[in-house]
Amino acid sequence: MNETPDTAALFRRLHEVRAEALHHARLAQQLSAERRGILQELIRNGHSQADLAREMGVTRQAVQKMLAA
């Protein structure tokens, strides 16, 4: 494969973007787990899924999915 300076720069950027995307995916997983823990705690404290859904501006079904994940 014949790499020009532009091609080499594009491949470097491709690797940087991939690494950044992987970092954000891991961060999203961590935040999702934290959100699930908070939702579970609120439910233990007597709040309903409907209460949580209203507070978050989502449907009750969305809250169910967040808890199940």
Domain count, the chain: 1
What are 8-49's pLDDT values in tens digits? 999 999 999 999 999 999 999 999 999 999 999 999 999 999
12 lies in which domain range?
5-68
Largest CA distance in the chain: 65
The DSSP result for 2-57, as a single string, is ---HHHHHHHHHHHHHHHHHHHHHHHHHHHHHHHHHHHHHHHHTT--HHHHHHHHT
Q: Which of 46, 50, 69, 51 is nearest to 61 (CA)?
A: 50
Residue 41 is predicted with a pLDDT of 98
In the numeric block, the tokens 């992987």 are attached to 22
